[in-house]
Chains A and B, each alone.
Chain A
């Protein structure tokens, strides 16, 4: 696959160990070029197919019944996520499909932001596996500011709480960026460690005797609810009972910011140059270290914002037992990878996983006789999520799709993506 061609100077082929694609972002760019929409779609279908195998394996009855049940399970997840709303659109939250959809949208909001947190770092050549920790830090700070500054006017209070959480998330991720820039510590390792530190800090802070534990019942390891002045207004469904809040618009705004930042600003140019080739970026006059720190901080800002939007949008309070259960930061990895680290892709990825998450977890609880029990539903999400991540990461699988797509158009028969460049 990696024949250095005759015209390629052998001396310039990067260290002979690997497939000659050096940085993470460059590897991803390869995928960007290959396959367009096809690969994510195929990835999802393949994941569902294999998830279906798990259902078939654990059902009883004839193989026909089992397959039928697997299909029914997907139908139920679809309904559970409220996607059947499309058949009877209504804004009435009393309608079960509309309610489910509104809940899916709440999940989507969070996942857009945690997805962006992963995607932005990817574009700078870093793998921010620490979205979960940054999200937790955002939750903590949003809760703290939302509770402590009670009595302020609504708008400034929201701005302070949202801003504070965003900055906190940025600072938390910035630690990883700083370590990478100054001593070269690999961001994957440091963000994993920061995740667990954040997890235990959050468990402590909301828990028994923790600084943010509620003031009413010391036996209850849950925080105080944020003040009304800090709660984000809802526009669909009731305030205070998981209605869809304006956080959705904040998330969509973040998508726009992400796109503009990357494609129309010098910051984005620097981020991409560093991501694709740090040596060339430095040679071009770009301060690589500054960009590593900045890109990581911006990433963390997105995750911190996710924490703020969740805390101020519909959670309002948080318990130390919720900390270990939350997975939205990790789901962001799957969202970003499925969305190929683009703004549009992240939106679709977030909606896909938001629907899957709500459809399997809570959506199934309202369905009569679900094929997959609601308890197992959450695990089912994990299986699909794991498969999607595995498949999206597989270079050769994608190349295979890409090449077979090319075979369908004999006229355009050309070099495969990794093929060496033709002679001048």
Chain B
């Protein structure tokens, strides 16, 4: 320590990244990004989807090679070519999508790669013992012997954190850790983060949620379009100032909409029970109605029966018990085709997996529901020219940019793909429209467009069911809000309900007494 780096000496930086540049074909993901983390701090990395947060962290973790720039860990310049090297340097990463193997136990997942052994053999009990010690040390309760496929999402996240700690991580990267958690589970996570911090660990907390940043972070770095915009201490930061830095302009937090003009009941669901693909009952006796001219929002944590409910309404999943009626027509036993014919429109939650055939052209995708009926086809014979005409009209009406009728749908950006799906569904003039996660992963412009469109379709007199994991979206768009918890509706609210109250309901209201 004869001549230590002056910067490290003054600030005790555990990580410095300077002038990081990373280019992907056609996109500059990181443009001269600078970022540093002090020892023992929680440093939030804030930015919209696509701002370059994940790219920066993947570079740090050795998954991508930077095109330029310098990385120092504990003052020493490093260049990781694999995750293994990053791990050895004391960096741990909890990915947004957990990297766990469902058919293996918690302990096996944690020790994988650095297994304790007895001779040639794997030391299973030693592994479990080590995991138990670690989990007690940091208050991360998990059962080492349980199969990962049997534990909850919150527990999976703890396993991921334990995985990093087992590898001796001093610097933990948490990539959007609260995306899969309820507000209450998030609070627990924050407690874990604080106990890690108390133990001297440094944490990088990636998010695009402003309230979380203000709650947990010591310092905040904002990225926008691949550039560092600012690094600031939490003190003095407000949601508005962060939002401005993140988006580059004032954000419209509420959607402009008039009072709803409620008409007849268009969707009537009575005592609905639905099983998932594995035969587990995920919807357990749901009853509700949606009227013409209103948006009903379904709030809930992912996995509480939303997908099964949507699929049942669209005829994609068998109804176990109960009835679904659309405008007086019973579609409980309907095939997807019959549901479509009854007037159900459906913007699916995953446009790439389900909403579009990415290999098809725009015109073929526009015809996805009506390829077999006039004017697109007659007696089994298809008229491609008519599909193209139809596509041209929708491209114009819905402002789909980035290609013409012959463009492959997969070549469009996410926002335009979603517009295309919405265009197709709305153009069929459905009586009842399901909008599942309609703005997931879109940029602000596309979000605004789709929100306005949904409101105007409501005003046209359609019944709209909005299912979203973004509570903010539910609150700003819905006329009525239903909370789904473990396959049951546990609350019905008007749109002026508070976020906290909904959050509590999303956990079945049990958390209050437990805590």
A and B: direct contact (Cβ < 8 Å)?
Answer: yes
Binding site for B on A (CB under 8 A): 3-12, 14, 16, 25-26, 29, 33, 263-270, 272-273, 276-277, 279-285, 287, 414-416, 419-424
Q: Tell me the smallest distance from the CB of B32 to a CB of chain A, in Å.
A: 16
The answer to whether B380 and A283 touch across the interface, beta carbons within 8 angstroms, is no
- Among A10, A33, A282, A284, point to the contact of B441 (Cβ < 8 A): A10
Can you pick out 21 interface pairs between chain A and chain B where the beta carbons lie within 8 Å of each other? A3-B29, A12-B352, A12-B441, A265-B380, A266-B372, A269-B371, A272-B357, A273-B360, A277-B357, A279-B353, A280-B355, A280-B368, A282-B316, A283-B314, A283-B368, A284-B369, A287-B337, A415-B26, A419-B26, A422-B26, A423-B413
B199: A residues at CB distance < 8 A: none
Q: A285-B340, A419-B25 are contacts. A6–B414 as well, Cβ < 8 Å?
A: no
Give the docked Cα–Cα distance between A270 and B443 (Å): 33
- A-contacting 9-mer, from B78-86, B265-273, B343-351, B453-461: B343-351
The answer to whether B26 and A280 touch across the interface, beta carbons within 8 angstroms, is no
- A-contacting 9-mer, from B50-58, B144-152, B287-295, B323-331: B50-58
Give the docked Cα–Cα distance between A8 and B55 (Å): 12
Minimal Cβ-Cβ distance residue in A for B50:
A6
A29: B residues at CB distance < 8 A: 359
- Among B55, B354, B377, point to the contact of A279 (Cβ < 8 A): B354
Give the docked Cα–Cα distance between A16 and B96 (Å): 11
The answer to whether B356 and A280 touch across the interface, beta carbons within 8 angstroms, is yes
Q: Which of B360-389 contact A (CB under 8 A)?
A: 360, 364, 367-369, 371-372, 377, 380-382, 384
The answer to whether B382 and A266 touch across the interface, beta carbons within 8 angstroms, is yes
Minimal Cβ-Cβ distance residue in A for B22:
A3
B408: A residues at CB distance < 8 A: 33
- Among B336, B371, B415, B445, point to the contact of A283 (Cβ < 8 A): B336
Q: Which 10 A-B pairs have the closest CB atoms?
A: A9-B441, A6-B50, A424-B413, A284-B368, A285-B337, A276-B359, A415-B25, A266-B372, A419-B25, A29-B359
The answer to whether A416 and B441 touch across the interface, beta carbons within 8 angstroms, is no
Q: Which of B378-415 contact A (CB under 8 A)?
A: 380-382, 384, 401-402, 408, 410-415
Give the docked Cα–Cα distance between A344 and B348 (Å): 37
Judge if B471 is at the interface, Cβ distance under 8 Å. no
Judge if B226 is at the interface, Cβ distance under 8 Å. yes
- Among A25, A268, A421, point to the contact of B359 (Cβ < 8 A): A25
The answer to whether A7 and B381 touch across the interface, beta carbons within 8 angstroms, is no
Question: Which applies to chain B's interface (DSSP): helix, strand, loop or mixed?
Answer: loop
The answer to whether B357 and A276 touch across the interface, beta carbons within 8 angstroms, is yes
Q: A9-B441, A283-B348, A414-B26 are contacts. A273–B416 as well, Cβ < 8 Å?
A: no
- Among B25, B356, B401, point to the contact of A424 (Cβ < 8 A): B401
B27: A residues at CB distance < 8 A: 5-7, 420, 422-423
Minimal Cβ-Cβ distance residue in B for A16:
B97
Judge if B167 is at the interface, Cβ distance under 8 Å. no
The answer to whether B54 and A416 touch across the interface, beta carbons within 8 angstroms, is no
A4: B residues at CB distance < 8 A: 54
Q: A14-B353, A285-B340 are contacts. A273–B368 as well, Cβ < 8 Å?
A: yes
Judge if B495 is at the interface, Cβ distance under 8 Å. no
Minimal Cβ-Cβ distance residue in A for B336:
A285
B55: A residues at CB distance < 8 A: 3, 6
Minimal Cβ-Cβ distance residue in B for A23:
B359
The answer to whether A276 and B52 touch across the interface, beta carbons within 8 angstroms, is no
Minimal Cβ-Cβ distance residue in A for B51:
A6
Q: Which of B25-41 contact A (CB under 8 A)?
A: 25-27, 29
Judge if B335 is at the interface, Cβ distance under 8 Å. yes
Judge if B71 is at the interface, Cβ distance under 8 Å. no
Minimal Cβ-Cβ distance residue in A for B367:
A269
Q: Tell me the smallest distance from the CB of A151 to a CB of chain B, in Å.
A: 38
The answer to whether A8 and B414 touch across the interface, beta carbons within 8 angstroms, is yes
Q: Tell me the smallest distance from the CB of B198 to a CB of chain A, in Å.
A: 31
Judge if B120 is at the interface, Cβ distance under 8 Å. no
Q: Give the A-B pair count, Cβ closer than 8 A.
A: 157
The answer to whether B415 and A424 touch across the interface, beta carbons within 8 angstroms, is yes
A423: B residues at CB distance < 8 A: 27, 50, 413, 443
B335: A residues at CB distance < 8 A: 285, 287
B372: A residues at CB distance < 8 A: 266, 269
The answer to whether B357 and A273 touch across the interface, beta carbons within 8 angstroms, is yes
A12: B residues at CB distance < 8 A: 350-353, 414, 440-441
Q: How many residues from B make CB contacts under 8 Å with A? A: 61
The answer to whether A424 and B446 touch across the interface, beta carbons within 8 angstroms, is yes
Q: Tell me the smallest distance from the CB of B308 to a CB of chain A, in Å.
A: 15
Minimal Cβ-Cβ distance residue in A for B64:
A3
B377: A residues at CB distance < 8 A: 266, 269
Judge if B49 is at the interface, Cβ distance under 8 Å. yes
Tell me which of B26, B49, B335, B355 has the highest count of chain A C-beta atoms within 10 A of its own C-beta: B26
A11: B residues at CB distance < 8 A: 96, 440-441
Q: A6-B51, A12-B440, A420-B24 are contacts. A276–B413 as well, Cβ < 8 Å?
A: no
B 1-33 to A, binary, CB cutoff 8 A, 1 in contact else 0: 000000000000000000000001111010000
Give the docked Cα–Cα distance between A415 and B26 (Å): 6
- Among B316, B351, B380, point to the contact of A266 (Cβ < 8 A): B380
Q: Tell me the smallest distance from the CB of A235 to a CB of chain B, in Å.
A: 32
The answer to whether A266 and B50 touch across the interface, beta carbons within 8 angstroms, is no
The answer to whether A3 and B441 touch across the interface, beta carbons within 8 angstroms, is no
Q: Which of B432-453 contact A (CB under 8 A)?
A: 440-443, 445-446
Judge if B229 is at the interface, Cβ distance under 8 Å. no
Judge if B358 is at the interface, Cβ distance under 8 Å. yes
Q: Tell me the smallest distance from the CB of B412 to a CB of chain A, in Å.
A: 7
Q: Tell me the smallest distance from the CB of A26 to a CB of chain B, in Å.
A: 5
The answer to whether B413 and A283 touch across the interface, beta carbons within 8 angstroms, is no
Give the docked Cα–Cα distance between A33 and B411 (Å): 12
Give the docked Cα–Cα distance between A282 and B314 (Å): 10
Q: Which of B55-69 contact A (CB under 8 A)?
A: 55, 64
Give the docked Cα–Cα distance between A11 and B208 (Å): 14
Q: Tell me the smallest distance from the CB of A236 to a CB of chain B, in Å.
A: 35
- Among A6, A273, A284, A420, point to the contact of B52 (Cβ < 8 A): A6
A287: B residues at CB distance < 8 A: 335, 337
Q: Tell me the smallest distance from the CB of B435 to a CB of chain A, in Å.
A: 14
Give the docked Cα–Cα distance between A267 and B371 (Å): 10
Q: Tell me the smallest distance from the CB of A271 to a CB of chain B, in Å.
A: 12
Minimal Cβ-Cβ distance residue in A for B413:
A424
Q: Tell me the smallest distance from the CB of A272 to a CB of chain B, in Å.
A: 7
Q: A8-B414, A416-B25 are contacts. A280–B354 as well, Cβ < 8 Å?
A: yes
Tell me which of B51, B354, B359, B369 has the highest count of chain A C-beta atoms within 10 A of its own C-beta: B359
Q: A264-B381, A266-B380, A415-B25 are contacts. A26–B358 as well, Cβ < 8 Å?
A: yes
Q: A8-B414, A29-B359, A423-B50 are contacts. A283–B26 as well, Cβ < 8 Å?
A: no
B24: A residues at CB distance < 8 A: 3, 5, 419-420
The answer to whether A14 and B352 touch across the interface, beta carbons within 8 angstroms, is yes
The answer to whether A277 and B414 touch across the interface, beta carbons within 8 angstroms, is no
The answer to whether A8 and B382 touch across the interface, beta carbons within 8 angstroms, is no
The answer to whether A264 and B382 touch across the interface, beta carbons within 8 angstroms, is yes
B348: A residues at CB distance < 8 A: 283
Q: Which of B304-336 contact A (CB under 8 A)?
A: 314, 316, 335-336
Give the docked Cα–Cα distance between A197 and B24 (Å): 51
Having A3-B55, A419-B24, one finds 14 other A-B pairs with CB under 8 Å, namely A3-B24, A3-B64, A10-B49, A11-B441, A12-B351, A12-B414, A269-B372, A273-B360, A276-B357, A276-B358, A277-B354, A277-B359, A424-B412, A424-B415
Give the docked Cα–Cα distance between A422 and B26 (Å): 7
Q: A283-B346, A285-B337 are contacts. A422–B413 as well, Cβ < 8 Å?
A: yes
Give the docked Cα–Cα distance between A272 and B357 (Å): 9
Give the docked Cα–Cα distance between A14 and B410 (Å): 13
Q: Tell me the smallest distance from the CB of B374 to a CB of chain A, in Å.
A: 12
Give the docked Cα–Cα distance between A365 and B286 (Å): 77
B346: A residues at CB distance < 8 A: 283
- Among A6, A16, A277, point to the contact of B226 (Cβ < 8 A): A6
B414: A residues at CB distance < 8 A: 7-9, 12, 421, 424
Minimal Cβ-Cβ distance residue in A for B410:
A421
Give the docked Cα–Cα distance between A254 and B3 (Å): 81
